[in-house]
Structure 1
Amino acid sequence: MHRVVVMALDGVYPFELGIPQRVFGTAQGLYEVLTCSVDGHAVRTSADFTISTRHGPEILATADTVVIPPYASASLSAQLPAGVADAFKLIPAGARIVSICTGAFALAAAGLLDGRRVTTHWNQTARFSELFPQVTLDADVLFVDDGDILTSAGAASGVDVCLHLIRKDHGSRLANHVARRCVVPPWRDGGQAQYIEQPVPEPSVAGTSATREWALERLAESLTLTDLAAHARMSLRTFARRFQDEVGVSPGRWLTQQRVNRARELLESSDLPVELVARQVGFATAASLRQHLHAAIGVSPQAYRHTFQTAGDR
């Protein structure tokens, strides 16, 4: 059984602390989730209560995956909270390390993120970049998978990254099952920009959601920005701006994401040749599908199919 150890730091956010147990704990007994603190004592939370943990930092030595939830923003600095450096030394060399939201500050302060691409909550990106210039911060994504270290954005992105790990470990069938049990989407599209506070539009201003739904039904077609703007009855400039504001990415990037997502579904659930999968999702050639899939998740269509069809049948 894969052991996930969640480390609660002083000022931990209770919601995010519970995400790993809620998500991994729904995965048909394949994960064991344990919670520890730096010293084995009760931990003050960001709310008006404390949390007692059954384990001290020694349990980190047995972890396959370690999760660091966010903690009080007043404690976010380039210095590690007391005791955390010694605790981190107990983490096995081969373990995965995951941060949720501002938990990335602790990993960065420990030097674990130097030279890596990461993300954190959009509201703390300026502070993070100022404190850790040696880390490449991507503020426009919900999570970053950098192999043995994964970082996620704000609260609900902890759900996204945990589902992503289940998908990597056991395939999309199980990840989708867990998502349904948790009543959350298997994955969310776009980046953090769609969640950043924006001026509320006038009620009479049309949005782009209807056009996005229309486009999803026509991914096999050669859709252009002109087609999308025409369906939304907007000028190209207005549509592109409004789309970016609502979704967090450009229309072209969003279309590519949707085509890659649909291709992944077909690769997992069918034996269609790669060339036919490419055509059904709107990529002109199999080579184009390979290029976009590799850019998105770092593998070829055949490798992805082998991994997830096999994993999904376990």
Structure 2
Amino acid sequence: MTGTIGAPRRSPLFRLSALLCAVLPLCAAGCAGPSGPASDAARPATAAPAEELPVLPTFWPTAGATPAPAATPSAGPGNAAAAGTTAARPLTGRTVLLDAGHNTGNAKYTREINRQVDIGNSRKECDTTGTSTDAGYSEAEYTLDVSRRARTLLAERGAKVLFTQDGDRPWGPCIDERARIGNEGKVDAAVSVHGDGAPAAAQGFHVIMPANVKAGKADTEAIVASSRRLGLLLREQFKAATGEPYADYIGDQGLDTRSDLGGLNLSKVPKVFIECGNMRNSGDAKRMTDPQWRQQAAQGIADALTAYLTTPAG
């Protein structure tokens, strides 16, 4: 059927009721609409059970309003968010130095790296070419790769990480400059990463700590104890991460103390060397050329620095 249905006729009583609702708004909730009883929109809402109500965050914005800026979490012990951030980035505010030993370009600059530099109690070559595996994987390649991996781990924990070289120099730097970079950077700790070139029958890793040297420009007295603590932690964490045995050809249970290394003699900050393995040994070489093992080596170095900087001495 087609056509227009006319508006319904309203009784005088209905018109009076509508007039009263217009004059007295307070009665609107109970006034009859066109279909008789009050509409849903006009009825008071029935509260849902408490467990069914959504729990909104305290920062939930009100419709149409500009949300207030979130408050900066305090670092107090009761603030879970701040505590979580601290736990995830325990090295925030700390600075470390990673000294990737040698340089892949050193062999092309023999005159420069053979220049003698003062290390306090003697003079030594500016730098050397380092060693390599029998297959030609160089110590300089190894040290830079592991240092970069360790840098990523340390930065994720909040540390500022300095490098003595990042593959961005044609040669060097010299051993005295390597120490100076850490001193001028006022780093909290430094690790020099190396691979050894011992006889093929020898295997294992060892950590080298500074001897007490006071001669010329060298004075390690202030860092001997702290460097030893760093060295002990590095020995522990590196072995735990890699499973590499202690060196069977040098040192005492993976530890050695030397007075002839310029990078240690001239350091004013806690510093140690790590010889991660003997690159001339077939077993060590196989591990050191494995990227997965190098990641474990970086983990051990990063864990040692983290432990050193987050646990009290003594």
Q: Where on the TM-score scale, by shorter chain, does this alignment land: which range?
A: under 0.3
Q: Which has the larger radius of gyration?
A: 2
Determine which structure has greater relative contact order: mean sequence separation of CA pairs < 8 Å that are 6+ residues apart, divided by chain length: 2
Structure with the higher fraction of residues in helix conformation: 1
TM-score by length of 2: 0.28
